[in-house]
Structure 1
Amino acid sequence: MSKQQWTSEMTSHLILLYKNYPCLYKGKSNKKNRNQAYQDITSGLRNVNPCIEFTKAMVTAKIHTLRTQYTSERNKIRKSELSGDEIYIPKLWCFEMLRFLDDAEGIVEGQSNLDPVNTEIEEKGDVLLEGSVDDAPRPFTPDFEVNEERPSSSVPYTNKTPDRTPDSNNETTVYKKRETPVSKKRKLEDKRFSNVMENATKTLKKIKLLTHNDTVLNDFSQYLANEMKTIQNEDILDTLKSDIMHLVITAKREYRAKCCE
């Protein structure tokens, strides 16, 4: 099968099947298990596309292409993070589907634990991406169980540059960590974030104060109600209620008068 014959839906199906067999991308495993995994993946693809005669060679070639493309895109993201410029957005439409490859051994170094296959992959700089984000397929439900484990975060990367300093007899390479430049855009975003956090803190303090005042008034109201329950005479109780309301209204008028001064 040529590259052009792999549709987005077929590629998505392949990725989901591939994800279910960690023995193909997590370290070295028994050759028998790997062959069985490829056989299962090939059978799964044939079940969905009975008109296409999938083979192990076609499957391994496509997987190798996807892994190479994913590694290239992920390296571009890391490079943009270290440069301090705007973060690179992957152009590979199935990039998020391949996140589980972050757990694969050797992917950081660009190595592959796939079986040797003859693939026509461009090795000059950027890898040719098959499709773009706009070509992403519509969701579909495969007829097999998919293990939806959350992928781990990207492997930390430390950017160091060698600084050669000669001594009396021989040269010694000393590694110094290079400071990452911060763009103006990121500085502006950090300042905005700081202002948002400051305003949020002030708001929380006000809410806390209001909540405290409400609690005090509620406690007093409950205490007053409990005391009034001890008065069994309705006439005396009505007079007390009237006096309390009169005091509250008088206090509110005095408060408004002071606010208007």
Structure 2
Amino acid sequence: MTTVSKKDSLLAFIDGYRSLPELWDTACVSYSNRVKKAAAYDILIEKLKPLEPNATRDSVVKKINNLRSVFRKELKKVNESKKSGASANDVYVPSLWYFGELMFLVDQETPDDSISTNELGNDINEKSVAPSSPSTSSGPTPTVNSFAQPSRKRKSAPSSLISLQRPRGIWKLKTMSF
């Protein structure tokens, strides 16, 4: 019986994970298939047994999450050093020995374009909606647009976002234009 080093066992686990795109590739047809994912996790449980003899699905998931988070942190350091304008010789070199083995995850770790709340447009249409019970307060009614508008120009956003807010006891229907 030969003993396999921890490094070799972890490399075998990573290779097994790479060969099962239903676990990591969101574009894979089988990604949302629970049956195929369960079978894939069973394969990885066997790959993890040399490192953890009592391996379960939970321990496989934890191991994958650990590997991906460390990879993500190292990838962030590399990308930030490239953005900083460092020369080719000064770009951060990952110290993680299995960083290259996880490069198949690069496309999955790149965030999608999103709209931040700072990029919302100036066209915020607000309509008051009466509360379900009559208000007994005799104080002043809040203004329709009680949010301060920044002075810088912003991108406009689609008008499909509707949210409810409850400022000072009055429900307001807030429609944002994107």
- 1:171 pairs, out of 134, 146, 151, with 151
Cα 1:98–1:51 shift into 2, 3 Å: closer
Alpha-carbon shift at residue 170 of structure 1 (Å): 5.3
Residue 103 of structure 1: how far off its partner (Å): 2.9
- Tell me by how many angstroms 1:54 deviates: 1.8
Deviations 1:209-240 (A, max 9, x none): xxxxxxxxxxxxxxxxxxxxxxxxxxxxxxxx
Q: Secondary structure at the match of 2:152?
A: strand
TM-score of the superposition, structure 1-length normalised?
0.38
**Cα pair distance change 1:82/1:61, threshold 3 Å:** same
Look up the SS of the partner of 1:172 in the other structure. coil
Equivalent residues of 2:14, 2:102 under 8 A apart? yes
Query: Structure 1: where are the runs of 5+ without partners?
Result: 1-5, 110-154, 163-168, 176-261
For residue 69 of structure 2, what is the aligned residue in structure 1? 68
CA deviation after TM superposition for structure 1 residue 44, in Å? 3.5
Q: How well do the aligned residues superpose, as a CA RMSD in angstroms?
A: 3.1
Deviation of 1:174 (Å): 5.5
SS in 1 for 2:32: coil
The reply to whether residue 21 of structure 1 matches residue 20 of structure 2 is yes
1:108 to 88, 107, 110: 110
Report deviation, 1:50.
9.3
- The whole-number CA distance in structure 1 between the counterparts of 2:10 and 2:154 is 46
**CA distance in 1 between partners of 2:99 and 2:69 (Å):** 11
1:78 and 1:39, CA in 2 relative to 1: closer, same or farther beyond 3 A? same
Q: For residue 54 of structure 1, what is the aligned residue in structure 2?
A: 55
- Paired residues in the alignment total 112
Instruction: Answer yes or no: is 1:37 the counterpart of 2:40.
Output: yes
Provide closer, same or farther for how the CA distance between residues 30 and 77 of structure 1 changes in structure 2, counting only shifts above 3 A: same
* Alignment partners' CA distance in 1, 2:150 and 2:60: 52
**Gap runs ≥5 in structure 2:** 119-148, 156-178
SS of 2:55's equivalent in the other structure is coil
Q: What one-letter code is carried by the residue in structure 2 that aligns with 1:81?
A: K
What is the distance in 1 between the residues matched to 2:32 and 2:41? Answer: 13
Q: TM-score, normalised by structure 2?
A: 0.54
Percent of counterpart pairs with the same letter? Answer: 26
Any idea what the Cα deviations from partners look like across 1:61-89, whole Å, max 9, x if unmatched?
Answer: 01101101111111111111111221000
| Structure with more of its chain in helix, by fraction | 1
Displacement of 1:40 in angstroms is 1.2
Deviations 1:119-163 (A, max 9, x none): xxxxxxxxxxxxxxxxxxxxxxxxxxxxxxxxxxxx9x9xxxx9x
